A and B are shown apart, each in its own frame.
Chain A
C-alpha cells in the first residue's frame, strides 16, 4: 500500500461514471485515477456533482453507467456494506453518529465481532488507543458524542473508518464545520494517514486546502471532470478558472443615481443574538431617495441580522430613523406590519422560509401581509375576488410564469417565486425597499428582469438597500457599496472606482493595499471569514 510509484495500480479508478436524477445529469462520463498513498483533492462549486460521485463510490447511489476499480480489480458497490468491504471509509459532511451513544459504541456500531458487546468494546478500546498514538487521533472513548465538539466528532468518524480497516478515506467538505485550528489539526492527521500509506480523497470548494495538502487535484464543473493536475504544477488562479469557467458578465443598464433626501438613517446599531454572539457592531449608514446602497460580504457577517432588524423581527439597540422619525427596535411595537405602515417593504433573503408560504396559492401569498388593506376587504370578510384579480394583474406585469394565481407557491420555479414576492412588495409603493439575495437560485432570464425592476424603482425616487453575496450583482446594481465583515462596516466604496479584488479584501477583513496581496491570501481570508459560509 505504501508504494506510490506510477507503475502501481491506482487505489481507485473510475471509468465513465454517469448518473442522472430525472432530467438533471449530476455526473457525466467521469473517469479518474487515484494513486495509493496520495491525497487527491476534488474541487468544484456547489452542485458540481462532487458529492454525487462520492455517494456512488460509497454505495448510496447506483451509477447509470461506468465501472469502479479498487486496487486494479473491478468491483460492484451496491451498498455501504460493499464499500466498507472494499476498504472505503467515508467521512460525511453531516456526521452519521448516534449522539446518545459513547464514542466507543459509535465506533463499534455495525462492526461488532460477535453477538455480545463486551468483547467488541474491549477490543475497540485497545485499537482506539493504538490509533490515537499512531495518528494524533485522541478522543475520550467514554464520552457521549453529544457532549463533544464537532472537531472531536469528526475524529470519531475518521476512527470509525480506520477501525473498519479502510485503506481509502473520503472526506466530504471536512473543514466546513471546523475552526482554523481544528482544520490544521485535521490536516496533520491526514498527513499522518498518508505517511502510513492510506489513500485520501478530499472533497472541498476551498482552494486553500487543495493547495496546502493535496498531491493531485481534479476539478469538477457542472457534472463533468474538467481536469486532473498535479497540485505542485498548478496555481489557485488556474484552478479557480477551471472551477467556475468563464463567467458571463451581467450588465445592468442604468443612469447615474440622483440621490435625494435621506430616507433611512441607521445610527450605532448593535445586535446580540440569543446565544450571546455580538452580530452587529456599531453599524451606521444612510440610504437616500433614488439610490441603491449595496451591502457586500460573505454570508454570516451580520447582513442577515441587519435586514431582520429593519424588517421588524429582530431586536437591536441603537437608533434607526425612517423619514426622520425613529422606528421601534425593542420588539414591543416592531413587526412586519408596523414596518410596512412606515413605508418599508422587505424582500427577505430566504424567500421560501420568510417570503412565501409554500403551500399557499400565489394569490394568498400576494395578499398576505397586506390582507388588512381596505381594497381587500368586503365587510367583515376578506374579498377573495379582489385579491385574485389583483394577483392576476400583478402576475402579468411581473411576467410570472405560469400566470395562474391559484397555483401553490411551491409549484413555481425559484425565479418566478421571487417575482411573486417582488410583485407584492414593490407594488406597495414603499419609500424603502429592503432586498436580500434578490437573485439567489434564479435563472439568468429572471435575473435580468429582477434587476430592471430594482433599477426602475430607484428611478422613481425610492431608496433601496440591497444585500447580496454575489459581488457581481453588488457591483452592477449599487450606486454606493458598503462592505460588512464580522458585524462591522469595513468601509464604503464607489462601484465605479473599485473592483472584485478590493471588495474581496474588505470582505475578508483586510484593508491593506490590494496590489501587494496575492489571490491565494484573499482566498485564505475569505475561507475563514464569517461563520455562515455558503454550503
Chain B
C-alpha cells in the first residue's frame, strides 16, 4: 500500500468517523449528567431528514443544518421531559424516540416529496462542500507533508472541522469550567448537587439539550455532507456504534475521538475490499467487512475492553430524599 492510498483510506475514515464522533460526544454530555440516551440514533435520523428537506426547499444548507438541530432538539426535549421531569425509564424513552424517528421520517418524506421515502438529491449550496484549506494546493508537491496536508487534512466539509474542534472544547468544558464540574457531579451523585443548592433538573436538561444540538449536527452531516440527500434509515446504527464508542472511551472526550476514528477506519476499509485483497493477498468477503464495525461493537459491549465504570447515577431518575 503506498502513501497515497493509505492517506485516501484515512481521509475516508475521518469522513466516516465524523458523525460517530459528534453522536459520541452528544452521548457523553447526556450520560455524564446521568441520563442514558439510546435515542442518539433516532435524533440523528430525524435531523438528517429535516436538514435535507429544508436544505432542498430553501437551497441553503445552513438553514437546513438549523432545521436538523431543531428536529433533534425536539426529540431531546421529549426524552428530557419523559426521563427528567416525569422520571420515566430512560431506555424505554430512548427506544420510543428511535421508533418514532424511523417511522416518521419516511412517512413525512413520502408525503412531501413522493420519492419513496427519500428527499431529492441535494446539489450546490444545498449541500456542505469540501473546503480547501489555505496553501493546500501550494504545498501539494512537498514530499510527505504535502500529500498529508492536501489529502488528509484539507478538503473536508465544515462540519468535519466542527467535530474535531468539539473534542478539545468538550474536554475544556468538562474539566475547567463550573458547568463541567456540576455536570460531572450530577451524573455521579445528584444528591450532592441538590444539597449544594444547584438545580439537578436544570443541569440535566442543559446536558440533554447539548446532546440534542450535537446529534442534530451529526444527522445533518449524514444527509447534507456525507451523502447528498436523505434516504430511509440512513443513520444505519451509527447511534448505537457511537454508544459503544462512548463505553470504549470510558466517557472521556479524547478517547471518544480515538474510538470513533477506529470505527470510521473499519467502515472505510469495508468500502475498499480491493485494498484488502491487494494488501493481504486474499479476498475478504465484503459482507464480513461491512459487519466489522458491528462485530467490534458487540465485542466492546461484551466488556472485552477492560472495566468501564459508567457515571454512578446513570439511568436513575433523581428523587429527592431527606
Question: Is there an interface contact between B185 and A109, defined as CB atoms closer than 8 Å?
Answer: yes
Residues from chain B with Cβ under 8 Å of A219 in the complex? none
Residues from chain B with Cβ under 8 Å of A101 in the complex? 184-185, 188
Q: A98-B185, A99-B189, A117-B177 are in contact. Are A84 and B322 (CB under 8 A)?
A: no
- Return the chain B residue nearest A172 by Cβ: B322
Residues from chain B with Cβ under 8 Å of A61 in the complex? 322
B181 interfacial by beta-carbon distance below 8 Å: yes
Q: A55-B322, A110-B182, A110-B197 are in contact. Are A96 and B192 (CB under 8 A)?
A: yes
The number of inter-chain residue pairs (CB within 8 angstroms) is 76
Question: Is there an interface contact between B195 and A90, defined as CB atoms closer than 8 Å?
Answer: yes
- Return the chain A residue nearest B198 by Cβ: A110
Q: A90-B195, A98-B189 are in contact. Are A60 and B322 (CB under 8 A)?
A: yes
Q: For chain B residues 190-230, which have a beta carbon within 8 Å of chain A?
A: 191-198
Question: Is there an interface contact between A105 and B188, defined as CB atoms closer than 8 Å?
Answer: no
Question: Is there an interface contact between B197 and A79, defined as CB atoms closer than 8 Å?
Answer: yes
The secondary-structure label for the interface of chain B is helix
The distance in angstroms between the C-alpha atoms of A108 and B196, with both chains bound, is 9
Least CB distance from B34 to A in Å reads 12
Question: Is there an interface contact between A96 and B189, defined as CB atoms closer than 8 Å?
Answer: yes
> By the criterion of a CB under 8 Å from any partner CB, how many residues of chain B are at the interface?
23
Residues from chain A with Cβ under 8 Å of B322 in the complex? 51-52, 55, 60-61, 92
Q: Which of A55, A109, A115 has the most CB of B within 10 A?
A: A109
Least CB distance from A430 to B in Å reads 40
Residues from chain A with Cβ under 8 Å of B179 in the complex? 115
A409 interfacial by beta-carbon distance below 8 Å: no
Question: Is there an interface contact between B197 and A84, defined as CB atoms closer than 8 Å?
Answer: yes
- Return the chain A residue nearest B185 by Cβ: A98
B280 interfacial by beta-carbon distance below 8 Å: no
Q: For chain B residues 149-199, which have a beta carbon within 8 Å of chain A?
A: 175-182, 184-185, 188-189, 191-198
Question: Is there an interface contact between B176 and A116, defined as CB atoms closer than 8 Å?
Answer: yes
Question: Is there an interface contact between B176 and A117, defined as CB atoms closer than 8 Å?
Answer: yes
Q: For chain A residues 80-110, which have a beta carbon within 8 Å of chain B?
A: 80-81, 83-84, 90, 92, 96-101, 105-106, 108-110
**Other 17 A-B pairs with CB < 8 A, given A79-B197, A80-B197, A81-B197:** A52-B322, A58-B195, A81-B198, A84-B196, A96-B191, A96-B194, A96-B195, A97-B192, A98-B185, A98-B188, A100-B312, A101-B184, A101-B188, A109-B193, A109-B198, A115-B179, A117-B175
User: Which residues of B approach A to under 8 Å, CB–CB?
Assistant: 175-182, 184-185, 188-189, 191-198, 312, 320, 322
User: Which residues of A approach B to under 8 Å, CB–CB?
Assistant: 51-52, 55, 58, 60-61, 79-81, 83-84, 90, 92, 96-101, 105-106, 108-112, 114-118, 120, 160
The 3 closest A-B pairs by CB, nearest first: A110-B196, A81-B197, A112-B178
